[in-house]
Structure 1
């Protein structure tokens, strides 16, 4: 065992000892926790680990924040609006803490990696008990213990990661599907994005650790996994024994009992021919690829530091479609990036029409302090950006509706996720293409993959009936 593995193993054992000690104080008292997650799937997966630690030490979940004895906000700083929401809710928690003086409040995630945020919390939100960042969430139990022992605000923010600590508890949202981190951090430095500054540099998990985690999940009933990373296509480059993402998927595919594999996020500049070949040959990869293009203008892409052109992106799409019939493609698009002209915007529309995406996450460009784009000249006026954004949505809606209508009349396997929230006679699930479908059924179907005839499209969701 090498030195890094020794450190990671020792840290894992240390945290488990602290959890055991804390559980003697907390377990059986009926203390409740509530975790609010802002931002991406990476944050959602981190929150599952936070819940696992809290339940290990004796907290039980609260259905509402107002009833909780321990509140955690797992924050996001990609967009200013997410930060404002956190500050607003923190202000409201001040009254909750007056009613329950023993209540603990913790903040973690990307916002906490910014010095300006820490200064603001210390200045205006002294009722917060624990602050930690993106690199050390595994230390939650230790931070709670420190807070209980000292009675003072605990701040533990790391500028860089020290080690990847494995084998800690997690509470999954679904019994039958789960996300698995394959790597952390990002080296891309897109000029609009603050993630590399708050998540740190890329570091890949060892393939054997990933494989062991997935095998344990499958033994626990998981049928579908989503491999997570800021840029999964560059997986393996930081390892002592490099392995490509394509090779990792091929190994994961060999795991008996695993039925579906997804991955995100995929950066076009690193999507290799090797991975495209695996996409074409795989029997378990879902027929859905999320491939952000952000802008259709090569000029804007250069200013974004995306390191591919419009033509290269379209070529990648053609390669994927050549090896995967009827593949569902989804994407991310930013409108109103500094310097974007009407011609640049029409290039974006052109890509949308040529690719015919099944869905897209669309964003108005948002200034993030600390990123190069924040100080670029020719910021697009808000009214111009919004007008373009609305035109983009009109084009997308028509294409998304058309692609969904193409599903009508065919039968697809659906992983049933839950009883429909609006109609208890229906259940809801997802096709491999990630389309949401509702059909008549009961809770006995939850977690099963069943054939469903698609009978109607509602644009952003489908209606179906269980195939006989």
Structure 2
């Protein structure tokens, strides 16, 4: 399982269109990966039907929910500080109820309710449909906790309310849970075993987004490449499927192909991929369709085969490099990004140099890089000593980040002089006279607004760049708009 943590989105409080007649106020805040933000949309959808409208004013809320992340200790500490803030407000507004959702709820369970008494309700990632019942328990003075992990729940029957949406791009969840059991990761324990969502429900959700004017969908899961629908149930139980189920099963390459074919004027991305599960068929489907973006987030975590084995990653350095070679052969203008953990237990200087040399080999466009922090409950925490000193972790992390910045600038510069297709998303952060969007390779592009509008696909000639942003001039609508 890999997670992209977008720092600028952390702690976003969500707001949606007010439903007439709803009198109660919901304040919902999200931390962590894209899956958590997507789950918050599901929770909001459930609560709209329970009489709640969202608010961004904490002080007026009847119900405060925080959707939590356990991936790093820093994330948990941030959430604890927010809970302190909620409880300070609760002293002024004693009728306000506070609930913890998501991965931290699953990990700490009744500790929040019984030991610390800082929340009224604890809800794991598979129990969101039970929130109305749990709220009744709270009203009746009973402990309200449901952290049961499901073998079936995919929320495929709930149409998420799009919160804080730009009206152009959206996430669609296709899998839940993870089977990979990486030794550093809490996700299999907080989100349960891997199961996939029925493909027609995914296509129906994309159709609804298209009807409402959305132009780009990111297919989302802890591990999208292992998507496998064979009539329901856990991925690990596919071996017990009937011959008919196996013959009619839909894998990720087929789902991606179906999506791109049925919605030729919509652009598709996906996240996150696991190297061991990414097959050449997926890359070939990407190459076949102009409307599937040439970008893959392909976390590796370490460049050392020895450390990869300690992490229980199911691939070697050499296998990963072969996969990279195949991707670049089939899609030469691909952009790649990584997750990297430095300072994992027993990591030597030689292991660290293996990571740097792998980065030189791949030359990633983007990266998400962290020093190892021990997560309670994981196999690494139970079986391995966190034996790399903090100062060594910091120095190695600095070397990784510095190298990534060199590669990022190099990869961004390659677009200068090229014309790229950009989906207009929003105003540029620095100028209301410019639009901001992304090209197929996921690089941000900024250009003068002229007569273009959000949702337009525009050809932009690139004239300049920074390490993270392309700057250019619009030269007309792209082919996807004209066909």
TM-score (structure 2 length as normaliser): 0.86
* Residue in structure 1 matched with residue 123 of structure 2 by the alignment: 132
- The answer (yes or no) to whether the contact 1:419–1:443 under 8 Å persists in 2 is no
Deviations 1:174-215 (A, max 9, x none): 322211111111110001001001111111112222222222
Aligned CA RMSD, in angstroms, stands at 2.1
* Residue in structure 2 matched with residue 36 of structure 1 by the alignment: 29
Deviations 1:216-265 (A, max 9, x none): 22222222111111111211163653322111111112213542111111
Matching of residue 175 in structure 1 with residue 167 in structure 2: yes
Deviation of 1:413 (Å): 1.4
Q: 1:309 to 1:261 in 2, by over 3 A?
A: same
Deviations 1:81-139 (A, max 9, x none): 1111111111111121122222222211001112x45314422234x222110111133
* Residue in structure 2 matched with residue 226 of structure 1 by the alignment: 218
Superposition misfits of 4+ residues, deviation over 4 angstroms: none
Matching of residue 59 in structure 1 with residue 52 in structure 2: yes
CA distance in 2 between counterparts of 1:299 and 1:412 reads 40
Name the structure where helix makes up a greater proportion of residues.
1
Matching of residue 142 in structure 1 with residue 133 in structure 2: yes
Matching of residue 185 in structure 1 with residue 177 in structure 2: yes
Question: Which residues in structure 2 correspond to 1:413-424 (within 5 Å)?
Answer: 413-424=421-432
Matching of residue 394 in structure 1 with residue 402 in structure 2: yes
Comparing 37-46 with 170-179, which one deviates more in the overlay?
Answer: 170-179
Question: Which residues in structure 2 correspond to 1:204-353 (within 5 Å)?
Answer: 204-236=196-228, 238=235, 241=245, 242-256=249-263, 258-353=265-360
Give secondary structure in 1 for the equivalent of 2:345.
Answer: coil
Deviation of 1:42 (Å): 0.7
Aligned residues: 440
Matching of residue 111 in structure 1 with residue 104 in structure 2: yes
- The answer (yes or no) to whether the contact 2:137–2:143 under 8 Å persists in 1 is no
* Residue in structure 1 matched with residue 84 of structure 2 by the alignment: 91
TM-score (structure 1 length as normaliser): 0.89
* Residue in structure 1 matched with residue 41 of structure 2 by the alignment: 48
Deviations 1:311-355 (A, max 9, x none): 111110110011112110111111111111111111111111111
- The answer (yes or no) to whether the contact 1:183–1:204 under 8 Å persists in 2 is yes
Q: 1:464 to 1:71 in 2, by over 3 A?
A: farther
Question: Which residues in structure 2 correspond to 1:450-465 (within 5 Å)?
Answer: 450-465=458-473
- The answer (yes or no) to whether the contact 1:136–1:161 under 8 Å persists in 2 is no
* Residue in structure 1 matched with residue 147 of structure 2 by the alignment: 157
Q: 1:122 to 1:174 in 2, by over 3 A?
A: farther
- The answer (yes or no) to whether the contact 2:151–2:195 under 8 Å persists in 1 is no
CA distance in 1 between counterparts of 2:340 and 2:274 reads 13
Give secondary structure in 2 for the equivalent of 1:270.
Answer: coil
